[in-house]
Amino acid sequence: MSYHCGFGRGMSVFGVEPREPFIECDGCGDTICTTKAGGLPRAWFINGKGAPGWRLVRTEPGSRRDYCPRCKD
């Protein structure tokens, strides 16, 4: 799965720095944030769709592969 949850301030676990939740490209490792500036999830993420311009491939129930615009072909 290419979704990575975020860690808020004070939730640093084993040296992991705070970060926003994101989708990672399964091709090159590029990332796209899944939240808006106010911290709410983006509609495409809530609706289970791929990020705009990205390709989402469902591999089995609950699993997915995401490819950025450079890797989607």
For each of the chain's 73 residues, which pLDDT tens digit applies?
Answer: 577 777 766 666 666 677 788 999 999 999 999 999 888 999 999 998 999 999 999 988 878 999 999 998 8
DSSP 40: P
- What is the pTM for the complete model shown? 0.78
Please give the Cα distance from 28 to 35 (Å, whole number): 21
pLDDT at 63: 87
Residue 16 CB contacts under 8 Å (≥ 6 apart), including other chains: 7
Quick one: pLDDT at residue 35? 92
| Res 69: pLDDT | 96
Q: Report pLDDT for 5.
A: 75
